[in-house]
Amino acid sequence: MKTSRPTGTSARQLAWHFSVAAIFLGCVSTKIFAADPPRASAAANGSGQESGEILDLLDGSTLHGRLRSIDVTKGVSWEHPQAKRPFEFAPDNLATIRFSHPDKNPARRTDPISQFRFANGDEFFGNLISINETEVELQTAFGGKFKTPRATLSSIRFFPKGAAPIFEGPTGLEGWTVGKTQSTNTWVYRDGTFVANASGTIGRDLNLPAASRLEFDLAWTAPFNLLFSFYTGNFENFNYNNSSYMFYITLGNISLQRINAGAGSSMMGRTESIGAMLANKKVHLEFRANKADGTLEVLVDGKLINRWIDTAGWVGNGSGILFYSQNDSAITVSNLKVSEWDGRPQNEATTNSTSAIDQLLLANNDSVSGKLTSVAAGNVKFVSSSAPLEIPLQRVTHLLLGSGAKTNSAPRNPWEVQVALAGGGTISFNLEKWGPETISGQNKDFGKISLNSPSVRQMRFNPDKSKTPSGQAGLNDDILWEDHE
């Protein structure tokens, strides 16, 4: 009798073998894997081609393949390149499904738009219609026009000139320049992530606008040294012959240098400490720049670390970026997104507040605290401690609603998912149906949700559970199987 078992004898592989045996439904009595081993995927060997969709399990395991179907009565059906028939999973075993999409720029918008942030962690773009003391009415591409309880909303940010995503990725090495070194294992692409295991560079011209926001997730396994060149025109290697701004990132610290070709480099301010990097092995970094006033900002996990102003005048003469890993520590760069910035300084008050007091942030950097009465017909009615106010909405940059701190503690539906959208944003709902063209479900506050499937970058299951980390930063390998007599 033939059986299928994982190759190799590592404890992790054996543990994985028994765990999947427990959760794969209907795969215990017949031969399920093909005798011929699959060819290595292009992404796995670093060639930069997309490797298909990826299923992450809560135990830290990863399966490549393709989502075949989702049926809330049967489970998630997953096709694996080594399996003769699909696997079926119950939702409580799953962490995420990462979808593969072509590396295309998201649709750019120049019309006024707002970013809504909710108490449950969701955030997405849409248009505000009105607010009263109990409800918010808004319109989105995925839900049309609908109303939601005001208490579910934490904040609204207004973009009078629109929010224009420029790039999202990575989805491969195409368009990127990997520096030439003696090592063949510098920067490689795998599963939506750039991985560096040796000293080397990778760069790209992203056509950065005059004011931009660039963000990504950085993960590591050991102390590292990473140089990040912003607004550079050199993508082959790092040198001081191209004017740019260079951020030097190490474990727990970040500093900024002004690189002026022919004149050398100079430190801008002091080295900033980042405590979050000492407590974790992954952070979300955001870099902002505005050529007009020479401003640069860095945020870590949404918190402003520093704001620099180049009083000598803007020096970056390129429109791209370069990563330079200086040692052999494994690091990963993922969830890279570039968008236009409105140039407004990051205000510490723009994070969610547990206060019951509402707050207005204005275009002239003034702020007003008190009670938001209503928003309608382009005007904001607000009661401050001194007097009632009526302010044109076009003067407001942020609305922070104290009531947004309230949360619903109702038990989670096992099919509750949170999806990440192309162009930015996340939305949670109880999944009802998935298809190649449409995903639909119900949100307890918004009602019916219908999304264009190709616009979904990632679907997260069990949002209140943490995935077991893998042994390396972002390096999860499928178990390789072979047939034995």
Q: What is the mean pLDDT of residues 380-392?
A: 91
Say if residue 323 is in the same domain as residue 200.
Answer: yes
- Within 8 A by CB and 6+ apart from 365, the residues are 345, 347
pTM (predicted TM-score) = 0.74
**Contact in structure between 34 and 82 (CB atoms under 8 Å):** yes
DSSP 459-481: EEE-TTSPPPPPSSTT---PPPE
Provide the domain count of the chain: 3
pLDDT for position 182: 61
Say if residue 331 is in the same domain as residue 276.
Answer: yes
Q: What is the mean pLDDT of residues 455-460?
A: 89
pLDDT for position 1: 39
Domain membership flag for residue 444: no
Angle at CA of residue 191, ends 186 and 195, nearest 5°: 20
**Residues listed for the chain:** 485
Q: What is the mean pLDDT of residues 106-114?
A: 62
Q: What is the pLDDT of residues 415-456, one digit of tens each?
A: 999 998 877 788 999 999 998 888 999 988 778 888 888 888
Say if residue 18 is in the same domain as residue 48.
Answer: yes
CA dihedral 168, 96, 434, 127 (to 10 degrees): -50
Question: Which structural domain, as residue segments, surrounds residue 238?
Answer: 165-340
**Domain with 299 in it: what CATH number?**
2.60.120.560
Domain membership flag for residue 301: yes
Say if residue 256 is in the same domain as residue 309.
Answer: yes
**Confidence check: pLDDT of 16 > 90:** no
Task: For 349-422, list the strands marked E by DSSP.
Answer: 358-362, 367-376, 379-384, 388-392, 396-400, 416-421
Say if residue 45 is in the same domain as residue 123.
Answer: no
Q: What is the pLDDT of residues 257-299, one digit of tens each?
A: 999 988 888 999 999 999 999 989 999 999 999 999 999 999 9
> Any idea what DSSP says for residue 11?
H
DSSP lists the bridge partners of residue 375 as: 131, 380
**Confidence check: pLDDT of 156 > 60:** yes
Domain membership flag for residue 398: yes
Domain membership flag for residue 400: yes
Say if residue 254 is in the same domain as residue 312.
Answer: yes
pLDDT for position 120: 83
Q: Which of 195, 238, 248 is nearest to 218 (CA)?
A: 195
Domain membership flag for residue 28: yes
Say if residue 158 is in the same domain as residue 176.
Answer: no
Top pLDDT among 207 and 347 is at: 207
Say if residue 205 is in the same domain as residue 314.
Answer: yes
Domain membership flag for residue 280: yes
Q: Which of 130-134, 154-158, 409-413, 467-471 has the lowest mean pLDDT?
A: 467-471
Q: Which of 16-20, 29-33, 169-173 has the lowest mean pLDDT?
A: 29-33
Dmax (CA) of the chain:
84
Q: What is the pLDDT of residues 228-257, one digit of tens each?
A: 999 999 998 888 889 999 999 999 999 999
Q: What is the number of other CB atoms lying within 10 angstroms of the CB of residue 225?
A: 15
Question: Where does a domain end: 286, 313, 340?
Answer: 340
Task: Give the burial string for 60-84 (b: 16+ CB within 10 Å, else e).
Answer: bbbbbbbbebbebeebbbbbbbbbe
Say if residue 335 is in the same domain as residue 472.
Answer: no
Say if residue 129 is in the same domain as residue 206.
Answer: no
Q: What is the mean pLDDT of residues 41-59?
A: 63
Query: How many angstroms separate the CA atoms of 66 and 99, rounded?
Result: 9
State both tokens at 314.
């803007």
Q: What is the mean pLDDT of residues 16-43?
A: 38
Q: Which of 295, 244, 306 is nearest to 270 (CA)?
A: 306
Query: How many angstroms separate the CA atoms of 18 and 321, rounded?
Result: 44
Q: What is the mean pLDDT of residues 37-53?
A: 46
Say if residue 192 is in the same domain as residue 334.
Answer: yes
Domain membership flag for residue 224: yes
| Average pLDDT value for the chain | 80
**Confidence check: pLDDT of 105 > 60:** no
Domain membership flag for residue 480: yes
Say if residue 284 is in the same domain as residue 326.
Answer: yes
What single letter denotes the amino acid at residue 66? R
3-state helix, strand, coil split of the chain in percent (to 5) is 5, 50, 45
Query: How many angstroms separate the CA atoms of 371 and 63, rounded?
Result: 50
Top pLDDT among 144 and 322 is at: 322
Q: Which of 2-11, 91-100, 293-302 has the lowest mean pLDDT?
A: 2-11
Question: Where does a domain end: 340, 367, 384?
Answer: 340
Question: Where does a domain end: 367, 384, 405?
Answer: 405
**Confidence check: pLDDT of 464 > 90:** no
Q: Which of 320, 394, 398 is nearest to 116 (CA)?
A: 398
CA dihedral 122, 76, 434, 413 (to 10 degrees): -40
Q: What is the mean pLDDT of residues 166-191?
A: 84
**Contact in structure between 201 and 236 (CB atoms under 8 Å):** yes
